[in-house]
Structure 1
Amino acid sequence: MGVAVLSFLAFAASQVGTPGPANMALMATGARFGFRASLPFVAGVALGKQLIIWPIGFGILSLAEAAPWAFQVLKFASIAYIFWLAWKVANLRLGAAAPDQRAPGFLAGLWVHPLNPKAWAMILTGFTSFMSMDTPTLQATATIAICLLACQLVFHPMWALGGDRIARAVAGTPAERYLMWLLAGLTVDSVLVALLGGESR
């Protein structure tokens, strides 16, 4: 009964820790502005997933039957945003930012996951595959919210720190351009996998 917590934690770790739009944004921010300056953005990204979890848990999916067009609009808006993000990553050059540039802050981070199809797919899988049908809504939603937040508090700072360290190693070298295009490709690929996976279920 309830939520299969350990199984869901393993699934959540595999999803939160692997490349995706949020992690690419975190890595790019860490690379451009440094780890410490990126921490407000990291916190926003981590908490932003809660903006999806709680509405889904308390019945937003029932709106899909009444207004399916709204979810299609959201889907294509999300795709457009992720492709724009990938383009920005691909053309980002590492190294210290200009003095007049500031790292994206907490509020900018809040909107990364609500516009991230991978996040939606991950949360929907949690509700449909790791809890029993008779689980109380509050219990199911709170468990999924806590598990995902715990994973994010571990992995999201690691991606920002990784960007910081990678920037120090490859900034200004021929490998820089290829690295950024690889990260952009992984961003797009993660979205396509999430969308195609959702279509096949």
Structure 2
Amino acid sequence: MQTLSGLALFVLAATISPGGATTLATASGMNFGYRGSLPLIAGISLGLAGMAAAAAAGIEGIFVAVPAVQTAVKIAGTAYLLWLAFQLSRTGAPKTTGSVAKPASIAGGAWLVLYNPKGWAMTTGAAASFSSIGDGPADVAVILGVAFGCFASVSLSVWCLGGQLLRHVLTQDRHWRALNIALALLLVTSILPIWIEP
């Protein structure tokens, strides 16, 4: 049980800390509310759960063995995040966006985390640290997948609800635009660690 509590603390800290996913959850909560953001939250949570399960099963070794795969994923992921930041920077108050802005889909949320080397490092670290939590790689994959999926859902919901609270504070379109531009810049900043080697 001590191992499970240690895993829970590790995963909670990893999923609630600020980053690209939490920034998008906050922005989505501001612009679309919690209910409209559920596909994004579900997609990110499912993506992170799959990533954790794959890391426990040893898939991360592909990135080590074939660096070109990791580079391709970084490029595609960076392009996707830049596109999201551009869309976010053009968004005003929810009532003025009409059909121009739409909440992210489940697939969009899942893609957001699957490209991220930081996510792979986090889940691989968990797989290495908690490899004795199950009776084999399959057990560890299930436990880590469930843990990351559940905690990501809770953590992203907290960030999203915080964004939704901002809807009541922001009263003018220029306030919305300024905050969305700030969040877009944070999203762009979250790309830097992807390219800076530790």
Task: Give me the TM-score of the superposition, normalised by structure 1.
Answer: 0.79
Q: How far does the alpha carbon of each residue in 1:12-59 deviate from its partner, in whole angstroms, 9 at most, with x for none?
A: 212211222222222222222222222233222221223322222222
> In the TM superposition, what is the alpha-carbon distance from 1:138 to its structure 2 partner?
1.6
Name which of structure 1's ranges 183-192 and 112-121 shifts more when overlaid on structure 2.
183-192
3-state SS, counterpart of residue 92 of structure 1 = coil
Aligned to 1:154: 154
1:1-80 matches, within 5 Å, as 4-80=3-79
* Alpha carbons 1:82, 1:116 under 8 Å: kept: no
Q: Corresponding residue for 2:81?
A: 82
| Aligned-partner SS, 1:60 | coil
Check whether the contact 2:4–2:133 (CA below 8 A) recurs between aligned residues.
no
Contact 1:93 1:176 in 2 (8 A): yes
Residue 169 of structure 1 and its aligned partner are, at CA, apart by 1.3
Give the unaligned 5+ runs of structure 2: none
CA distance in 2, matches of 1:115, 1:171: 36
What CA distance in whole angstroms lies between the structure 2 residues aligned with 1:65 and 1:119? 15
Unaligned runs of 5+ in 1: none
Q: Which residue of structure 1 aligns with residue 107 of structure 2? A: 107
User: Which residue of 1 is the match for residue 176 of structure 2?
Assistant: 176
Cα distance in 1 between the residues matched to 2:193 and 2:157: 24
One-letter amino acid of the counterpart of residue 36, structure 2? A
Alpha-carbon contact 1:35-1:164 (below 8 Å) kept: yes
Paired with 1:52 and 1:31, the residues of 2 have a C-alpha distance of 27
Compute the displacement of 1:63 (Å).
Answer: 2.4
C-alpha distance in 2 between matches for 1:100 and 1:92 = 9
Q: Which has the higher helix share?
A: 2
1:125 is the counterpart of 2:125: yes
Q: TM-score, normalised by structure 2?
A: 0.80
- What amino acid maps onto 1:159 in structure 2? W
Residue 98 of structure 1 and its aligned partner are, at CA, apart by 0.9
Q: For residues 172 and 113 of structure 1, do their structure 2 counterparts lie closer, same or farther at Cα, with a shift above 3 Å needed?
A: same
Residues 81, 112 of structure 2: 8 Å contact kept: no
Number of equivalent positions: 197
| Counterparts in 2 of 1:26 and 1:65: CA distance versus 1, 3 Å | closer
Q: Relative to 1, partners in 2 of residues 1:88 and 1:145: Cα closer, same or farther, differing over 3 Å?
A: same
1:59-106 Cα deviation digits (max 9, x unpaired): 223323542211221122223322333333333323234157543333
Q: Deviations 1:168-201 (Å, cap 9, x if unpaired)?
A: 31152654344333323433444434654xx33x
Relative to structure 2, which stretch is displaced further, 48-57 or 125-134? 125-134
Single out whichever of 60-69 and 155-164 deviates more from structure 2. 60-69
- The worse-fitting range, judged by mean Cα deviation, of 171-180 and 13-22 is 171-180
Q: For the aligned residues, what is the CA RMSD? A: 3.0
